[in-house]
Amino acid sequence: MTRIEVDGAAVDVPEGSSLLTAVREAGIELPSLCYDDRLSPAGSCRTCLVRADGKIAAACITPAASGTRVETATDGLRTLRREAVEVIVSALPPRALATDGRSELAHACESLGIGPETARGAGGRGGDASHPYVHLDRDLCIACGRCVRMCAEVQGTFALTLVGRGADTVVAPGTGGPWAESDCVACGGCVDTCPTGALTEPGPATGLTSASRPSPEPTRTTCGYCGVGC
Ligand code: FES
């Protein structure tokens, strides 16, 4: 075990843990929009910023070295984390936060006091409802890459990628066409990890109803290829 200090309290975490793990172990919640503890960390969203031994660091990609002194609760750090989330949210349409607090993003905004007025994106990037079990709403994609890593690292399918540049970057099937023609095996891992609701299971809210969805073909199988665990 490794012992570090989080906001003055000693915290023991297994060797090789990140500062984010230690912070969570201390019972402190930080936004962490590109992080899923089932996946390798990307460190791209900058929403989990802390101060480690006096230096600003993304907690998810910073190793918890023995004796590190971590601060999470100063006004300056709260402002940095809030600004990081605001930058992300400002590119999204208002409905990004109209998800009844169910999405991870909406929860983070709620905890940081970020209201729907911050979401000023025009939207209009469209979606992909071609697949019977996964629906993409590009306007809600924040390019965190969690779905891409879930597909590759857990599922082992490598069906997804990020396309576009800058604020226009979104997830897309690696094959380039519609989702229905991609290598997606419908494991649901991408939907499960998506922090914004950009990826969902089709249902009444997406315009696809159970009546319009094709029925799955009964088949005998041993689900040995799927790492998600349904
Ligand atoms: Fe740490 Fe995104 S969660 S940088």
| Closest atom, ligand 1, to C-alpha of 45 | 2
Is the CB of residue 72 less than 8 Å from the CB of residue 98? no
Alpha carbon nearest to ligand 1 atom 4, residue: 43
Alpha carbon nearest to ligand 1 atom 3, residue: 32
**Looking at the structure, do residues 72 and 14 belong to the same domain, yes or no?**
yes
Is the CB of residue 201 less than 8 Å from the CB of residue 134? yes
Q: Answer whether residue 218 is part of any domain.
A: no
Spell 42-79 as b/e; 16+ CB within 10 A means b.
bbbbbbbbbbbeeeebbbbbbebeeebebbbeeeebee
Q: How many angstroms from the chain centroid is the CA of residue 46? A: 12
Q: Answer whether residue 183 is part of any domain.
A: yes
**Looking at the structure, do residues 70 and 20 belong to the same domain, yes or no?**
yes
- Choose one of 18, 34, 142 to mutate for the ligand 1 pocket test, by most ligand atoms within 8 angstroms of C-beta: 34
The residue with tokens 């919640």 is 29
Q: Is the pLDDT at 187 greater than 60, yes or no?
A: yes
For the record, the structure tokens of 102 come out as: 């169910």
- Phi and psi dihedrals of 88, rounded to 5? -65, -50
Q: Which residues line ligand 1 (CB under 6 A)?
A: 32-35, 43-48, 58, 60
Q: Is the pLDDT at 88 greater than 50, yes or no?
A: yes
Read off the amino acid at residue 85: V
**Looking at the structure, do residues 8 and 73 belong to the same domain, yes or no?**
yes
CA of 221 to the centre of ligand 1 (A): 37
Q: Where are the alpha helices (DSSP H) in the chain?
A: 19-25, 75-90, 104-112, 146-149, 189-193
pLDDT of 1 reads 94
| Closest atom, ligand 1, to C-alpha of 60 | 1
CA of 149 to the centre of ligand 1 (A): 14
**Could you give the CA distance from residue 61 to residue 9 in angstroms, rounded to a whole number?**
21
We report the CATH number of the domain holding residue 142 as 3.30.70.20
pLDDT tens-digit map of 95-153: 898 756 579 999 999 999 999 899 999 999 999 999 999 999 999 999 999 999 999 99
pLDDT tens-digit map of 193-230: 999 999 999 865 443 333 333 444 444 444 544 555 54
Q: Answer whether residue 110 is part of any domain.
A: yes
pLDDT of 102 reads 75
Assembly ipTM: 0.99
pLDDT tens-digit map of 31-59: 999 999 999 999 999 999 999 999 999 99
**Looking at the structure, do residues 87 and 54 belong to the same domain, yes or no?**
no
Q: Answer whether residue 223 is part of any domain.
A: no
**Looking at the structure, do residues 74 and 95 belong to the same domain, yes or no?**
no
**Looking at the structure, do residues 95 and 140 belong to the same domain, yes or no?**
no
**Looking at the structure, do residues 48 and 88 belong to the same domain, yes or no?**
no
Q: Is the pLDDT at 3 greater than 60, yes or no?
A: yes
**Looking at the structure, do residues 64 and 103 belong to the same domain, yes or no?**
no
Is the CB of residue 33 less than 8 Å from the CB of residue 88? yes
The residue with tokens 């690292």 is 153
Q: How many domains in the chain? A: 3
Q: Which domain holds residue 151?
A: 127-206
pLDDT of 219 reads 44
Mean pLDDT of the region 57-81: 97
**Looking at the structure, do residues 131 and 202 belong to the same domain, yes or no?**
yes
| Closest atom, ligand 1, to C-alpha of 49 | 1
We report the CATH number of the domain holding residue 35 as 3.10.20.740
Q: Answer whether residue 227 is part of any domain.
A: no
